């Protein structure tokens, strides 16, 4: 925590800011990209959202109160940016968020930045049927392998509720894949 406070000071000091921000980028761009990509599914969209996320992080550094960890604060910004992006894209196309996601999944096979087979597609199709929060929890736990404590800090949900939600999500996904 002490170390993080020092790092935040470096990020706020105009003299060390650029160097510190580069360090932040290098450390978080991969996990944040994965987190965003799991929500928006398309690489170009994920790239746009990741850029917006880091711009927001940079612009709001002085507002970061240190009440939460830098890590969970950045994940929260990324999650909000990704969900907002999805909703705006769905609105622009005049469809629901779920329809848009289904369409993106159908197009995954033709996506040059997707290297998967039927089971991946089926899994994605099962996830889309879940409520938004359950989707997030499942992706963060199963794909991103975050700890319940970390997910709890990011989403502001208790560990107990997260465990229950994840368990439910797994059951629904297993039922869907078995049936299809």
Partner 1 sequence: MKTFKLENEPKIATGFTVPENYFEDFSTRMMQQLPEKETKVISIFARRKTWIYAAAAILVLALSLPIYNNLYSHSSEIDDATLENYITYHSSVSDTDLVNLLDEQDIQKMNIDLNLEDKTIENELSENSNLEQYLLN
Give me the residues that bind partner 1 (CB under 8 A), please.
18, 21-22, 25-26, 29-30, 33-34, 37-38, 41, 43, 47, 50-51, 54-55, 58-59, 108, 113-117, 119-120, 123, 142-143, 170, 173-174, 177-178
Q: Which is nearer to partner 1, 29 or 84 (CB)?
A: 29
Q: Which is nearer to partner 1, 26 or 92 (CB)?
A: 26
Cβ atoms of residues 1 and 7 within 8 Å:
no
Q: What does residue 113 show for φ and ψ, rounded to 5 degrees?
A: -100, 30
Query: Smallest distance from the beta carbon of 38 to partner 1, in angstroms?
Result: 6
Q: Which is nearer to partner 1, 67 or 145 (CB)?
A: 145
Token duo for residue 17: 């800011």
Cβ atoms of residues 116 and 97 within 8 Å:
no
Query: Smallest distance from the beta carbon of 149 to partner 1, in angstroms?
Result: 21
Cα dihedral value 37, 41, 47, 48, nearest 10: -110
Q: Which is nearer to partner 1, 4 or 174 (CB)?
A: 174
Q: Write down how long the chain is.
A: 180
Query: Smallest distance from the beta carbon of 174 to partner 1, in angstroms?
Result: 5
Query: Smallest distance from the beta carbon of 160 to partner 1, in angstroms?
Result: 20
Q: Which is nearer to partner 1, 2 or 117 (CB)?
A: 117
| Helices 43-59 and 17-40, axial angle in degrees (round to 10) | 140
Burial-class residue 63 by CB neighbours within 10 Å (0-12, 13-18, 19+).
exposed
> Residue holding tokens 């989707």?
135
Query: Smallest distance from the beta carbon of 81 to partner 1, in angstroms?
Result: 15
Q: Which is nearer to partner 1, 71 or 114 (CB)?
A: 114
Calpha distance 146→137 (Å, rounded): 10
* DSSP reduced 3-state for 148: helix
Query: Smallest distance from the beta carbon of 177 to partner 1, in angstroms?
Result: 4
């Amino acid at each position: 925590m002490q170390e993080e406070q020092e790092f935040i000071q470096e990020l706020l000091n105009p003299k060390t800011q650029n160097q510190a921000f580069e360090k932040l980028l290098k450390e978080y761009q991969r996990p944040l990209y994965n987190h965003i990509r799991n929500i928006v599914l398309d690489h170009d969209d994920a790239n746009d959202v990741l850029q917006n996320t880091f711009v927001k992080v940079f612009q709001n550094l002085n507002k970061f109160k240190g009440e939460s960890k830098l890590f969970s604060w950045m994940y929260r910004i990324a999650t909000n940016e990704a969900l907002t992006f999805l909703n705006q894209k769905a609105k622009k196309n005049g469809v629901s968020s779920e329809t848009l996601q289904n369409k993106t999944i159908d197009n995954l096979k033709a996506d040059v930045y997707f290297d998967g087979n039927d089971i991946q597609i089926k899994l994605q199709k099962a996830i889309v049927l879940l409520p938004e929060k359950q989707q997030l929890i499942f992706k963060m736990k199963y794909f991103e392998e975050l700890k319940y404590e970390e997910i709890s800090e990011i989403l502001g949900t208790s560990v107990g509720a997260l465990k229950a939600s994840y368990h439910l999500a797994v059951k629904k996904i297993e039922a869907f894949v078995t049936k299809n």
